[in-house]
Amino acid sequence: MARITIKAHPRAARSEVAGKVGAAWKLRLAAPPAEGKANQECVRFLAELAGVPRSRVRVVSGAAARTKIVEVEGVAQEELEARLARGSG
């Protein structure tokens, strides 16, 4: 299981990895922050990036904040970090 810190930036034109800010990965999310839509897009995007079903990705902390801690089951920490790094190219 991998656990990462996300700095979410909702209302982007498209969802993408925008690099790293300190220890957190910056994600631009193509969803508004209202009604949990940005969290849903964060889960969908990370599941697609990690190659796992959405049910294996969950926001464990910061659901109402820009900075979130997300767990991804079924992928190693190093592999997820590598995929995020490739996505920020």
Across the strands, what pairs with 33? none
Q: Is the distance from CB of 4 to CB of 69 less than 8 angstroms? A: yes
Neighbours of 8 (CB within 10 A): 24
- pTM across the whole model: 0.94
Please tell me the number of Cα atoms within 13 Å of 6 on its side-chain side.
Answer: 34
How many residues are present in the chain? 89
List the domains of the chain with CATH numbers.
2-87 (3.30.1200.10)
**For residue 23, what pLDDT is reported?**
94
pLDDT digits (tens, 9 = 90+) for 5-61: 999 999 999 999 999 999 999 999 999 999 999 999 999 999 999 999 999 999 999
**Chain Cα centroid distance, residue 70:** 7
For the cut 70, the answer to whether the pLDDT of residue 89 exceeds it is: no
Structure tokens at 9: 């930036």
